[in-house]
Structure 1
C-alpha cells in the first residue's frame, strides 16, 4: 500500500461480552501501557484478567476500537461523567492509543470523530481528556481538533490534573 492510499479505518463500540473485542481491548491497552507515554510497563496478568469484566460493570463506560482490515490498531477508553455547571453529561477520554505502526495514518482522528459522535448522541456538553505535557505529538493532534487547556477565568490559570495513589 502506498503512502497516498486511503486506509479503510473502521471504528466501533466494543462489546464487552464478545471474546474478540475483549481480547482487542486488552491487547491495545497493553500496547499503550508498554509505550513511554503509557508508563512503559506491560499490564500485569491480574489486570489483563480483570480489565474487561470490570469495565463492563462501570456505568457509562465505553470503549471504541479502531480497526484496519479487521486488526485492532487503536483504542479509546471513555467514561461518561456529569458537568454540574452545564447540568449535562460529559465524556472523558481516559485512554487514547494507536499502535506505533499505524500512527500518522488518521486512526486517532477517526477515534475522535466517533467519540464526539457518541458524546453528541447522549447530549454531552463537552469531551475532556488528559495529556502528558511532554507528549508533543498528541498535543498537536488534540489542538488541531479544537482541544485545549481548561480554564474558567484566564486570571485564575488553567486546570491541572493531580492524583494521589491509594494502596
Structure 2
C-alpha cells in the first residue's frame, strides 16, 4: 500500500533517511532533524512531499520528492530526491509501487518529466530503474555547491536583498 506521509511519519522517514545514508556509504551526511523535515513536509508552504510504502500496516519504504520545472516543455515535473525500501521488504514490489504512484502524479498533473539521481556504483538500483523503463541521461553531469564554496559565491552576489 502506498499513501501520503503524515506528520506522524516524520520519525520513521528520518530513520529511513539514516538507513539510506548508511547504504550509500555516507552516514555522516544525514544531518536533517525532525523539526526541519516536519517544516519542509508540513509547514505553511510545503517544499517537499513524501509517500510511504507499507507492508502489513508498517512503513517499509518512502519516496521524498519535489516539483521541478522544465523551461523547454513549459511544465513542472517530479524530482525524486530519495527512494528507499528497507532491506527486509525489498523484492516485495514496494519500490515499484512508489515509482508508479509518482508516475501517476506526473500524468494526472500534466507533468512531462520524472527524474532522479542514482549513484554510479549502485547496480541493483540501476537495474531496477532500467526494468521500469527509466534511462540514464547521457552527456549530463550534476554539479553541486556546498560549504565554503557556496558561501564564497553567495558573498560575491550583487543582488539586493538576496
Q: Is the shorter-chain TM-score for this pair beyond 0.5, marking a shared fold?
A: yes
> Which residue pairs with 2:42 in the alignment?
56
Does 2:69 match 1:82? yes
The alignment covers a number of residue pairs equal to 147
RMSD of the TM alignment (CA)?
2.0
Deviation string 1:36-87 (CA, Å, 9 cap, x unpaired) is: x16234744x623322223334545210110101111111100011111000
The CA distance in 1 between the partners of 2:73 and 2:25, in whole Å, is 31
The CA distance in 2 between the partners of 1:77 and 1:109, in whole Å, is 14
User: Structure 1 regions of 5+ residues with no counterpart?
Assistant: 1-9, 152-157
The CA distance in 2 between the partners of 1:81 and 1:159, in whole Å, is 17
Does 2:123 match 1:136? yes
The CA distance in 2 between the partners of 1:146 and 1:13, in whole Å, is 24
Scaled by the length of structure 1, what TM-score is found? 0.79
User: Structure 2 regions of 5+ residues with no counterpart?
Assistant: 149-162
Offset, 1:111: 0.6
Offset, 1:132: 0.3
Give the conservation status (yes or no) of the 8 Å contact 1:33–1:40: yes
Deviation string 1:121-152 (CA, Å, 9 cap, x unpaired) is: 2110010000000000000011111111225x
The CA distance in 1 between the partners of 2:133 and 2:98, in whole Å, is 15
